[in-house]
Amino acid sequence: MTSLLSEEDELLEEICRKHNIEPLYLKELFRIEKEYADKNMSKRRGLFDRISDILMDWVEQEEERRSIL
């Protein structure tokens, strides 16, 4: 099981590098989606709002980071 997770992490890192995306961002989105999926498939109310909020936070962080450079 550990090697599978390691392979998945390596693949995620590779994809993120290719598209210039921070792997932490995608891992967080996966975590949020899984949290809602584990609760109940029919009660995913708020999922898209939460994803939207976190994306906006990341955009602001990236804008701040780029303005410092």
Categorize the per-residue pLDDT at 1 as very low, low, confident or very high, splitting at 50, 70 and 90.
Answer: very low
pLDDT at 15: 95
Host domain of residue 38: 2-68
pLDDT, one tens digit per residue, over 19-60 is 988 899 899 999 988 888 887 666 677 888 999 999 999 999
Number of domains in the chain: 1
Q: What whole-number distance in Å separates Cα of residue 43 and Cα of residue 26?
A: 22
Q: pTM here?
A: 0.68
Cβ neighbour number for residue 25 with a 10 Å cutoff = 15
